[in-house]
Amino acid sequence: MFILTTKVTRFIKYVASNTAKARHLSVLGIETSCDDTGIALLNQNGEVLGNVLNSQQKFHTRYGGIIPPRAQDLHRAKIAEVFERCMQEAQLTPNMLDAIGVTTRPGLPLSLLVGARFAKHIARKYNKPLVPVHHMEAHALQARMEQNIPFPFLCLLISGGHSQLVFVRSATQFLLLGETLDDAPGEAFDKIARRLRLFLIPKYRYWNGGQAVEDAAKDAKNPARFEFPLPLARERNCNFSFAGIKNNSFRNIRAAERQEGTPPDGIIYHYHDFCAGLLAAVSRHLMNRTQRALEFTLPWFGDSPRSLVVSGGVANNDYIFNDLAHLAAHYDCRAYRPSKKYCSDNGVMIAWNAIEQIKENANCMRWDYDAVGVQGKATLGVNMLDAVTQAGIKCKWVQASKWRGVPATLKVAL
């Protein structure tokens, strides 16, 4: 109790002295969990004062994937410069910071270490508290920075490393309802796009797989040309699986290449149709699992407005988001996602998460820097997977949306 009180007192005194210099609480966010070096500076209202992102994507696409030691080298080479640029953009000096949020879990351990060490260095030098941040919790709360989304809400986290359904009760209370048994959807898009060799098309040279698939699907003539499985159709839970879709894609591509005599530096003729079918299959799977999670959690909303938040890199996908919004509307639930620049990894979401944590409980701030470590793997929230399976909810599937903007040919397949 004594320790808690001194911690809070220390923080109150500390903020009081700092707010004289900066008008609002200023929180730095440092993200290095994968291949983006992102640093941002926010005030407590969520105004972005500085935001700098250095993506390593161009480097990694040359090698067909992320090589962890190279990612670490690139973070190391860039992090000080990214920090300098962020502070310049915000026109603040480091001693005006009130706290430093940093991603400590989950992610590539070598990459996480660079951010954590840099955060500790700044914290020591300027006597600032650290706020350790869970990368997926940061994705989950990001939409609240720009939109008024009250707790609780259901959240679908879809990225290159994760696929999770969580019920979010507060900034620090998460209930895990479902997760992927194998690949993540972004990972499947990246691997399939690479196998299709979409990177040979100049426009897609440096795009990520999901973005390229979404764009290529827009010119589909017959999205039903290729068949895709519906994963876990018999499992009455909220888990995901994308390995079946991925392996089936590889088989279909190989068969089409043989049939068409595609050269090693060529692309199958009907790749637009392939991408549209793939997108529809991934979206259908995400919809079905989210529908069950909605039915499971409806009683938990009580009289509060029902909200579904979609976040993570794959939330950039308009096709998928619009399908999910259509599903949510069926349950009198509103769908949200962060603005596109904040769906993928960035420093803003880390700073915002630190602010949310501080607002909920100032004890999240750590002065024991040496005890703040990184974790490559980290669970998210309280595990409710068994409860969901036991409920065994049978759903009458909501049909996919006919939202505006879908090419007429794609609607045929829906």
Segment lying near ligand KG4 (by CB under 6 A), choices 11-19, 47-55, 209-217, 349-357:
209-217
Residues 6+ apart with CB under 8 A from 35: 55, 56, 57, 60, 66, 71, 74, 111
Could you tell me which of 298, 286, 284, 296 has the C-alpha nearest to residue 331? Answer: 298
Task: Write down the least CB distance from residue 343 to ligand KG4, Å.
Answer: 7
* Window 344 to 403, contacts with Zn ion (CB under 5 A): 345
Of ligand KG4, Zn ion, none, which one sits near residue 208, judging by CB under 5 to 8 A according to partner kind?
ligand KG4
Segment lying near ligand KG4 (by CB under 6 A), choices 86-94, 126-134, 203-211, 295-303:
203-211
Tokens found for residue 299: 């009683």
Tokens found for residue 46: 């969520």
- Residue 159, interface with ligand KG4 (CB under 6 A)? yes
Task: Write down the least CB distance from residue 345 to Zn ion, Å.
Answer: 4
- Residue 161, interface with ligand KG4 (CB under 6 A)? yes
* Residues binding ligand KG4: number (CB under 6 A): 20
Of ligand KG4, Zn ion, none, which one sits near residue 29, judging by CB under 5 to 8 A according to partner kind?
none
* Window 10 to 49, contacts with ligand KG4 (CB under 6 A): 34
Segment lying near ligand KG4 (by CB under 6 A), choices 81-89, 172-180, 187-195, 384-392:
187-195
Do the beta carbons of residue 166 and residue 157 sit within 8 Å? yes
What whole-number distance in Å separates Cα of residue 158 and Cα of residue 161? 8
Task: Write down the least CB distance from residue 159 to Zn ion, Å.
Answer: 4
Do the beta carbons of residue 135 and residue 159 sit within 8 Å? no
- Residue 179, interface with ligand KG4 (CB under 6 A)? no
Q: Which of 29, 132, 209, 381 binds ligand KG4 (CB under 6 A)?
A: 209
Q: How many CB atoms lie within 10 A of CB 412?
A: 13
Residues 6+ apart with CB under 8 A from 80: 118
Phi, psi (5° rounding) for residue 309? -110, 130
What whole-number distance in Å separates Cα of residue 22 and Cα of residue 37? 25
* Window 326 to 345, contacts with ligand KG4 (CB under 6 A): 344-345
- The residue (of 178 and 186) whose beta carbon lies closer to Zn ion is 186
Q: Which of 180, 211, 288, 401 binds ligand KG4 (CB under 6 A)?
A: 211
Do the beta carbons of residue 321 and residue 312 sit within 8 Å? no
Q: Which of 103, 159, 208, 239 binds Zn ion (CB under 5 A)?
A: 159
- The residue (of 43 and 159) whose beta carbon lies closer to Zn ion is 159
Identify any residues that bridge with 213 across adjacent strands, giving them in sequence order.
none
Of ligand KG4, Zn ion, none, which one sits near residue 314, judging by CB under 5 to 8 A according to partner kind?
ligand KG4
Q: Which of 129, 186, 223, 338 binds ligand KG4 (CB under 6 A)?
A: 186
Segment lying near ligand KG4 (by CB under 6 A), choices 71-79, 85-93, 154-162, 230-238:
154-162
- Residue 104, interface with Zn ion (CB under 5 A)? no
Instruction: Output the DSSP codes for 109-166.
Output: HHHHHHHHHHHHHHHHHHT--EEEEEHHHHHHHHHHHHS--PSPEEEEEESSS-EEEE
Q: How far is CA 343 from CA 32, 314, 391, in A?
A: 15, 8, 32
Tokens found for residue 51: 């935001």
β-pairing verdict for 163-168 and 153-158: antiparallel
- The residue (of 129 and 186) whose beta carbon lies closer to ligand KG4 is 186
Residues that bind ligand KG4 (CB under 6 A): 34, 159-161, 186-187, 189-190, 208-211, 214, 312-314, 316-317, 344-345
Residues that bind Zn ion (CB under 5 A): 159, 345
